[in-house]
A and B are shown apart, each in its own frame.
Chain A
Amino acid sequence: MAESELKSAIEKFAQDLANRAETFVGDISTLEIRTFTTPSTQIVNLADDGLDFNDPGLAGKLRLRAYTKIDFDCDTTICLPVDSNDQIDRSVWDMHQSMVNQALKTRETMLQAMGQALSSALEALQRIAG
């Protein structure tokens, strides 16, 4: 009984790895960064909950202030935040730009991490086969 449970655990683990690798490869081509703001009275209500950004009910609590999309070939789409005078809102833009820089570094790090994981997996397979 214990052995069949272990086999099941291994299969689930391998399947999760495969799914994660597949999602990674499919999604890595585009990097999206969204910056929202919310008043202090609302942010407490958002804590401890999963946020579904497709939920129309969130429209009253969050404002999408800036958006950046970077494709793998570096084509970039940017939505700039502006204030009521149609001037760029620098404080929001600074927040957003900091997150864009962090996201670019994160993607680079994850590519390296995934590369290491996949090469380890390949090496392991070669050792089993060899």
Chain B
Amino acid sequence: MVAPAFTFSGMSLPEDRDPLGVWELDVPRAAAFAARTPTEDLVWRADLPAARSAAREVLQAGLARIAVREQQLNVAAQRLRYFDPVPAYREGARDPEAALLAATMALRSPAVALGARASEAPALETSPEAQAAYRDSIIQCETLLAQFRQLIQKIARMETRVGNRLVARSIVDWTGDVQTTWLAELTPADMQDHLDTVRLALASRCALLRLLVIVTSGALGLAIKAQVPGGQFLLLPAVYQYVCDVLKALEALPGGVPEGWQ
């Protein structure tokens, strides 16, 4: 099995998957963080092949992919802005909008509403299923918020390995202050590789921050449109899934974005 070129640790994400499709989440390491005191850093690591041309190809592919993802996030944001939660979709539709509508309607269902009321008035009789549905939606939301917190709390550390040799390491905080340690016997090519790793990691961090903004503002907008009490939080997991579904659907398009967006 070929080891992934780009790995990311220090933060968990839903389904242990990078929504940007560039980084492999280092899950055992993230799980280990949970068992010990959490680390300060999000670690973005590039493991490049020793062959110069192969290393450049891997980095260029990563940078190109994140550039397309940035445009795709803009498309997802716009689709979310114009999403109308009315049951006007054809039966059996599998597009991201249909799934988001289903999740929104589920949170508006009388069962969940009763579950919500039961939490405030325990004497009110509701079915165990209604209470369980409401509780599940809260747990999902809480988990997602905890994951987003990791992105905001931690600073970024980037490491570049070429042919299993660590060549440089940078720590970049949120305001751009940089501390870099370079291997003393570095070649100009190794230096360029690390600079590109830093660019890719920072672009990915910004894209995840943008994703967070799209999801949180999207959930609020949808909560108002669909009149879901508490929806600005309870809809977070559904809106996150919607954005991921849109990104996945856009992959099938030539160039990865609709015409006119390129």
Contact = CB atoms under 8 A, between A and B. Distances in A.
Interface string A21-41: 001100110011111111110
B216 interface: yes
Contact of B183 (A9, A37, A123, A124): A37
A20 to B, nearest CB: 5
Nearest to A45: B166
A34 B180 contact: yes
B119 A3 contact: yes
A80 interface: no
Interface in A33-79: 33-40, 43-44, 46-47, 50-51, 53, 62
B217 A5 contact: no
B181 A127 contact: no
A35 B138 contact: no
Give 6 nearest A-B pairs by CB, closest first: A107-B176, A106-B176, A9-B142, A2-B138, A27-B175, A36-B181
A17 B181 CA distance: 30
Interface residues of B, number: 57
A9 B149 CA distance: 9
B175 A110 contact: yes
B174 A50 contact: no
B40 A103 contact: no
Q: What's the dominant secondary structure at chain A's contact region?
A: helix
A2 B119 CA distance: 9
Contacts of A24: 174-175
Contacts of B146: 9
Interface of A: 2-3, 5-6, 9-10, 12-13, 16-17, 20, 23-24, 27-28, 31-40, 43-44, 46-47, 50-51, 53, 62, 91-92, 94-95, 98-99, 102-104, 106-107, 109-110, 113, 116-117, 120, 123-124, 127-128
Given A51-B171, A110-B175, A37 B182 contact: yes
A36 B216 contact: no
Given A107-B175, A110-B175, A120 B213 contact: yes
Contacts of A53: 179
Given A43-B181, A92-B182, A107-B176, 13 more contacts: A2-B138, A2-B139, A9-B145, A13-B145, A24-B174, A36-B179, A39-B183, A47-B166, A91-B186, A103-B177, A104-B176, A110-B206, A113-B209
